[in-house]
Chain A
Amino acid sequence: MMNFINLLMAGLATGAIYALVAIGFTLLWQTSQTINFAQGEFVMVPAFFVLAALNVGMPLPLALLVGLALSMLVLGVLFKRLLVDPMLRHGVLPLAICTMALSIFLKETVKEVYSAEASPFPSFLPGGNLNLLGATISIQSISIFVFAICAVVALQTFLTKTSTGRQMQATAQNPYVAKLLGVPVERMIMYTFLINAALVALASFLISPVYLAKFSAGETLGLAAFIAAIVGGFNQIRGAIVGGLLLGVIDNLAAAYISTQYRGAVPLFLLIAVILFRPQGLMGRAEERTV
């Protein structure tokens, strides 16, 4: 039983990280029809920005800030300006293929420039274990979960309670009409890329202390976020949250109770089941776009 609770907690922690990545993925899709197959690598890269900053002697909090800023610049602004804007003119598919190329490019670059080895990554959250009624619970899992959920709540509040947030939602739901009303649609799309960059950076800072920083770390993460987004309905932030948490928990439980070998297959089963029985996703609506 205790083991189960610990697994559940660890699952929720990973799941909350998946949710962050899946939300970013969903936001990009909603506002700019970008299917970012490099999303996993986007989570891998910020950790190396931070490691580089630490290597030149910065203290951890500053290094994290630098990592966040560089992520927003490179994975937000430059990604949009240099890759998405020029490619989207040719269509959604050419852009998606380019992001696959980008994912390989990012992996190889990190491997060449930094190292092919996994590097330990410092955590900025409290670690250790908590003894609760004779049970041992990982504080790290709890703090990751709480931190990620706070980030999601902050994002949701921004999107629903501020005028800019609502203009972003309007842009995602109907860019043509948003433009008619005078919403600066281009700027809203740029904000989405910045938010995605911040989300992946956050995910990176949370997960790297657990699974280490490695050039290939994005492979499973990208797939997990992709599946979480689809399972959740692809066009819904709520869906991405539910999808992420569900996937994290199932993933951890499957590894413990079924077999580590089949661990990778379980999310795919979940994906297939959802596509077969509920193609619009757990929370999604059928997509409807006005022309």
Chain B
Amino acid sequence: MTQPVLSVRDIVAGYGEMTILNGTTFDVMPGTITTVIGPNGAGKSTVFKTIFGMLKARTGSIHFKGTDITNAPPRKLLALGLCYVPQGRNIFPELNVLSNLELGGIAASADVNIPQRIEAVLERFPVLRRKGQQQAGTLSGGEQKLLEIARSLLLDPQLMLIDEPSIGLSPMMVQEVFSIIKELRAKGVSVLMIEQNARSALEISDDGLVLELGRTRMQDRAQTLLNDPRVGQLFLGGVIEEKSA
């Protein structure tokens, strides 16, 4: 049996007095794409914030490559090879594109050659090189997402958490982002992704999990979830979804 790259056990967390995660438990296997689906407000983004040390886990544990990272600060997680691309726009609008990119290397340990990593990332995302001196706020929504992804790749992560990457992007840009995610998997990077666009996301995923009211409702192969009528009805544009929407 291969060890999971990320293992989340019985996490309880929330905001202030409010509890959002009630014992969330799941695994991410190395080299896979795992998609998290679930209704709005289920706590999907909250799980990511808790894994990445932005929200305190009250109980439970999180292990990354066998190391206990429960409540570890972002800086440490980045150095260990974990990265996080949150929902929405997460750039520094008034800094130029290159400076935005460079800030992805803040947490690097001394032996990482950042200029070389930047060069490699620019090679993969030529649009960022072309617009390197432009203020990041002037990029299109899709280009900003690419910048965020590129920035998170600067430290050569082994696991990427990415929250709703396709939201607000043009269909072509969504395809671009999904193909980057597949490319990462091909290089051995594991990806844990939250997606509203559940069907397209599950189609490129190996595993999937359904989160509801802060608990893991199902965890299975993505294909199995795609064929599951309950999942279909609730999240893949089935009857109930259409009526309630």
Contacts and interface: CB of A to CB of B under 8 A. Distances in A.
B54 A180 contact: yes
A81 interface: no
B92 A182 contact: no
A163 B108 CA distance: 13
Contact of B54 (A166, A167, A179, A288): A179
A180 B84 contact: yes
B157 to A, nearest CB: 13
A290 interface: yes
Contact of A182 (B78, B94, B99): B78
Contact of B95 (A166, A181, A184): A166
B229 interface: no
B90 interface: yes
Contacts of A169: 92, 94-95
Contacts of B95: 166, 169-170, 173
A167 B95 CA distance: 10
Contact of B90 (A163, A166, A174): A174
Q: Is the contact region of chain A dominated by helix, strand, or loop, or is it mixed?
A: helix
Given A166-B99, A166-B103, A167-B103, A179 B94 contact: no
A174 B88 CA distance: 13
A4 B86 CA distance: 56
A118 interface: no
A177 interface: yes
Given A180-B84, A182-B106, A173 B90 contact: no
Interface string A167-202: 101100110111111111000000000000000000
Interface in A174-233: 174, 176-184
B89 interface: yes
Interface in A120-134: none
A169 to B, nearest CB: 6
B102 A181 contact: no
B52 interface: yes
Nearest to B154: A181
Contact of B92 (A173, A179, A184): A173
A184 B75 CA distance: 9
A181 B99 CA distance: 13
Contacts of A176: 54, 90
B92 A177 contact: yes
Interface string B3-40: 00000000000000000000000000000000000000
B90 A177 contact: yes
B93 interface: yes
Nearest to B93: A173
Contacts of B90: 174, 176-177, 180, 290
B81 interface: no
Contact of A180 (B52, B79, B93): B52
B74 interface: yes
A64 B78 CA distance: 44
Contacts of A288: 93
Contacts of A181: 74, 78, 103-104, 106-107, 151
B91 interface: yes
B74 A179 contact: yes
A170 B103 contact: yes
Nearest to A174: B92
Interface string B178-190: 0000000000000
Nearest to A236: B94
Nearest to A170: B92
B151 to A, nearest CB: 8
A170 B99 CA distance: 9
A192 to B, nearest CB: 16
B103 A290 contact: no
Interface of B: 52, 54, 73-75, 78-79, 84, 86, 88-95, 99, 102-104, 106-107, 151
Given A167-B106, A176-B54, 7 more contacts: A163-B102, A167-B103, A169-B94, A173-B93, A178-B103, A183-B106, A184-B75
14 contacts: A163-B102, A167-B103, A169-B95, A170-B95, A173-B93, A174-B92, A176-B90, A177-B90, A179-B74, A180-B52, A181-B151, A184-B75, A290-B89, A290-B90
* 3 A-B pairs with the lowest CB-CB distances in the bound complex, closest first: A182-B107, A182-B75, A173-B92
